[in-house]
């Protein structure tokens, strides 16, 4: 992977990630394809709406379909018929959020499979091995996601373990890399404590990572606390590698994070909320199941040119949700993802023309109406 | 509507239905779009797989979204963004199969809405009015679908009522038709009694219908009984109008019905079975959830060129079903509908080249392996 920083507009950055499989324009939003499918979408549709990279979850894929089947297909790209880059998380976050039993020490983490209760062991080495089998283009180190809220001591202990795992993950990555152009990203932890975050950044900067992620945010903290962490951390990060804020967020969250220099985002919000009938528009969230849309012949968002908005009314969408029709989930997903991807495109254009601040202000003003 | 009979190969017929909205090549299979959506499919996808006409259910659409919303959209074509012809049933069949309470006399049928329990009244005139609001290109008369099994007296009484309703339906159709090229089809009833069927055919032939359907089949009768009815009825039907066998069927059912001269089919089998993981292939039905496919890297059907078979393995499809992923339902539906539409295409080519009998024999032999 090669990262090219094209220009900055104050702290907002315009860049490109180069892979043999394609170029990714940053700031970028990565749709989430947990089980090797971005829910309801075909890979062709993802390409049509302009997705340049997707995220897949190592934790889920190691459980289903498992390493053997992924390997038999020659990796996830071929299995799911997606030719562009894939980023995989390492499974760390899900172990804390999804597994009921878990045992952790500096050597490994053990957890029960939510599918059949089997005990599964993950080490930094195993996490990287699975990501290699998946054929991931951007592989994340195994980390311990610090819970929220956490005392400074808890955050520090958790961070120290993640440091050891980061080094082992990177060594494993290098060992198995071969001659492909895959990348390995470290993950900055340290809870809501700026000094811990900076200490962790300094440690991780001593390892030759291709990019750095900010983990342990979007875990329930108030946006002010999150922005405080980002604002203290971002100016200290290298300009020469991409910065990825894991698991974020709403359109406003993303715009604010771009303003302090974040390059990459992923989140289940646009896809999950679509399936609940929550539609993202330029004037805010529209709840399509609401009876006020029963005879509304407007598109979901008149300023959107997606397949859904070009062909169907709010009334029809509401009818589909009312009848539990899968097409409703599909059309809402196409729209929400298109909205997010178009938002990133607008953000990039505004950085290009040094008008990001103005764009952000206008967007937020109209969005909160 | 204009019907053109191109040629026959023994009793099998090759024809065309001409509408301003498009040409339909017969024998044709019509995907079912109950609530104004062929389940899981966009209209673009239906066009891509070669669908030339779809069926929508008047009974369902009059309940949800209802006449007012359909009317506000200017009809179903615009509401669901489907530009090709639509055939609508009259609601008769669903009143018997879906409503719990119903009251029937020669004047009207009343039934309770399965959505909110409201009492709904349907007359031939109302049924045709709703089909006009839908903008249906082929409108079916309101009939009473004779249950199975039925005594000859029951079948006769039911048929007589349907005759009165057929006449009233046709009169209503003509009154409201205007200058569009929509068509109205009668429905032959008479249970499993060939003499009643012929009596009904004679009566319906006295009305100037654009086509005739065979109703009251595919209601649980053995295939031999169904074929006996069809074989006695078909030779007496006019050659100059299309013949539509309602609600049928499996690939074998369809091939057998084509062999005695049926032109049009509709059925929920390919779409409903797809969502249950039952995949139609040239060698029979494949149950994709079966563990034997867990590591099977073949496409669903190597002889199929659909999007699903061109891009994905059985193993991936099984994984999607295993994880309850909507993409699994979609890919299975695309395949099953493509399989049915390709089957009709193969049937038409074989009639064109006077080899239908050979085609049917080969298909059935390979299918039952």
The residues of chain B that CATH labels 3.20.20.105 are 27-266
Tell which B residues from 67 to 86 touch A, by Cβ distance under 8 Å: 68-69, 72-73, 79-81
Residue B235 main-chain phi, psi, to 5 deg: -65, -20
Edge-to-edge strand list for the sheet holding B243-245:
B28-30, B264-266, B243-245, B211-214, B183-188, B138-140, B86-88, B54-56
* Contact B115/A at CB under 8 A: no
According to CATH, the topology of domain A2-266 is TIM Barrel (3.20.20)
* Contact B107/A at CB under 8 A: no
Q: Residue B262 corresponds to which tokens in the numbers above?
A: 């049926």
Q: Is A172 helix (H, G, I), strand (E, B) or coil?
A: helix
Strands A119-122 and A138-140: unpaired
What distances in angstroms separate CA B170 from CA A143, B104, B324, one per listed residue?
72, 20, 46
Which pLDDT does position B368 carry in this prediction? 78
Q: Assign domain B27-266 to its CATH architecture.
A: Alpha-Beta Barrel (3.20)
Q: State the Cα–Cα distance between residues B142 and B123, nearest whole angstrom.
A: 8
List, for residues B234-277, the tens digit of each pLDDT value.
Answer: 999 999 999 999 999 999 999 999 999 999 999 999 999 999 99
Q: Residue B335 corresponds to which tokens in the numbers above?
A: 């395949």
Strand boundaries in chain B, DSSP class E: 2-9, 12-19, 22-26, 28-30, 54-56, 86-88, 102-104, 109-112, 119-122, 138-140, 183-188, 211-214, 243-245, 264-266, 278-281, 284-287
What distances in angstroms separate CA B99 from CA A231, B34, B92, B95, B110, one per listed residue?
62, 16, 11, 5, 10
- Omega of the bond prior to A38 within 30 degrees of 0, cis? no
CB contact under 8 Å between A69 and B315, yes or no, is yes
Which pLDDT does position B364 carry in this prediction? 97
Which pLDDT does position A238 carry in this prediction? 97
The residues of chain A that CATH labels 3.20.20.105 are 2-266
- Exposure class string for B149-178: b at 16+ Cβ within 10 A, else e: ebeeeebbebbbbbbebbbbbbebbeeeee
Which pLDDT does position B118 carry in this prediction? 87
Residue A87 main-chain phi, psi, to 5 deg: -105, 135
Residue A34's Cα: distance from chain center in Å?
A: 11
* Cβ-defined contacts of B153-157 (< 8 Å, 24+): B154/B191, B155/B189, B155/B190, B155/B191, B155/B192, B155/B193, B155/B196, B156/B190, B156/B193, B156/B196
Which one from B9, B143, B266, B301 is the annotated catalytic residue?
B266
Which pLDDT does position B369 carry in this prediction? 58
Residues of A classed as catalytic: 89, 266
Among B35, B68, B329, beta carbon nearest to A323: B35
* Contact A295/B at CB under 8 A: yes
Q: Please classify residue B181 by burial: count the beta carbons closer than 10 Å to its beta carbon, then call 0-12 exposed, 13-18 middle and 19+ buried.
A: middle
How do the pLDDT tens digits run along chain A, 369 residues long?
999 999 999 999 999 999 999 999 999 999 999 999 999 999 999 999 999 999 999 999 999 999 999 999 999 999 999 999 999 998 888 877 777 778 999 999 998 888 888 888 999 999 999 999 999 999 999 999 888 999 999 999 999 999 999 999 999 999 999 999 999 999 999 999 999 999 999 999 999 999 999 999 999 999 999 999 999 999 999 999 999 999 999 999 999 999 999 999 999 999 999 999 999 999 999 999 999 999 999 999 999 999 999 999 999 999 999 999 999 999 999 999 999 999 999 999 999 999 999 999 999 999 975
Chosen for mutation from B69, B315, B331 (greatest number of chain A CBs closer than 10 Å) is: B69
CB contact under 8 Å between A315 and B35, yes or no, is no
Query: Shortest CA distance to B39 belongs to which of B337, B256, B311?
Result: B337
Residue B327 distance to chain A (closest CA, Å): 5
Report which DSSP code applies to A246: T
Residue entry with tokens 């990279």: A53
- Omega of the bond prior to B27 within 30 degrees of 0, cis? yes
* Contact A315/B at CB under 8 A: yes
Contacts of B315 in chain A (CB under 8 A): 65, 69, 72-73, 79
Which pLDDT does position B93 carry in this prediction? 82
CB contact under 8 Å between B330 and A72, yes or no, is no
Low-confidence ranges of chain B (pLDDT < 70): 369
* Contact B133/A at CB under 8 A: no
Task: Please name the residue of chain A whose CA is at the shortest distance from the CA of residue B331.
Answer: A42
Which pLDDT does position A112 carry in this prediction? 86
First to last CA, chain A: 41
Our answer to whether residue B89 is catalytic in this structure is yes
Which pLDDT does position A369 carry in this prediction? 58
């Amino acid at each position: 992977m090669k990262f090219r920083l094209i220009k900055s507009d104050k702290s907002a950055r315009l860049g490109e990630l180069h892979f043999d499989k394609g170029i990714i324009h940053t700031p970028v939003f990565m749709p989430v394809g947990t089980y090797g499918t971005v829910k309801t979408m075909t890979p062709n549709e993802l390409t049509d709406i302009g997705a340049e990279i997707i995220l897949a979850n190592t934790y889920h894929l190691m459980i289903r379909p498992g390493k053997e089947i992924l390997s038999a297909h020659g990796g996830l790209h071929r299995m799911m018929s997606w030719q562009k880059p894939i980023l995989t998380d390492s499974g760390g976050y899900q172990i804390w959020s999804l597994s009921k039993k878990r045992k952790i020490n500096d050597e490994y983490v053990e957890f029960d499979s939510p599918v059949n209760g089997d005990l599964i062991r993950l080490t930094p080495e195993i996490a990287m091995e699975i990501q290699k089998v998946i054929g991931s283009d951007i592989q994340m180190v195994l980390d311990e996601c610090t819970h929220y809220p956490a005392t400074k001591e808890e955050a520090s202990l958790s961070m120290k373990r993640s440091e050891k795992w980061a080094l082992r993950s990177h060594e494993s990555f290098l060992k198995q890399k071969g001659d492909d152009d895959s990348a390995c990203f470290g993950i900055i932890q340290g809870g809501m404590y700026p000094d811990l975050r900076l200490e962790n950044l300094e440690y991780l900067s001593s390892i030759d990572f291709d990019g750095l992620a900010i983990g342990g945010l979007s875990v329930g903290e108030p946006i002010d606390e999150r922005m405080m962490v980002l604002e203290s951390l971002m100016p200290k990060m290298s300009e020469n590698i991409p910065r990825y804020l894991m698991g974020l967020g709403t359109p406003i969250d993303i715009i604010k994070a771009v303003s302090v220099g974040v390059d990459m985002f992923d989140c289940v919000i646009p896809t999950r909320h679509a399936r609940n009938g929550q539609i993202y528009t330029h004037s805010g969230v529209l709840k399509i199941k609401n009876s006020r849309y029963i005879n509304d012949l407007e598109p979901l968002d008149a300023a959107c040119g997606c397949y859904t908005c070009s062909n169907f009314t709010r009334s029809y969408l509401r009818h589909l949700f009312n009848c539990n029709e899968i097409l409703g989930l599909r059309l809402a997903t196409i729209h929400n993802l298109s909205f997010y991807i178009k938002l990133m495109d607008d953000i990039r254009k505004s950085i290009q023309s040094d008008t990001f601040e103005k764009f952000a202000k206008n967007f937020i003003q109209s969005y909160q109406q």
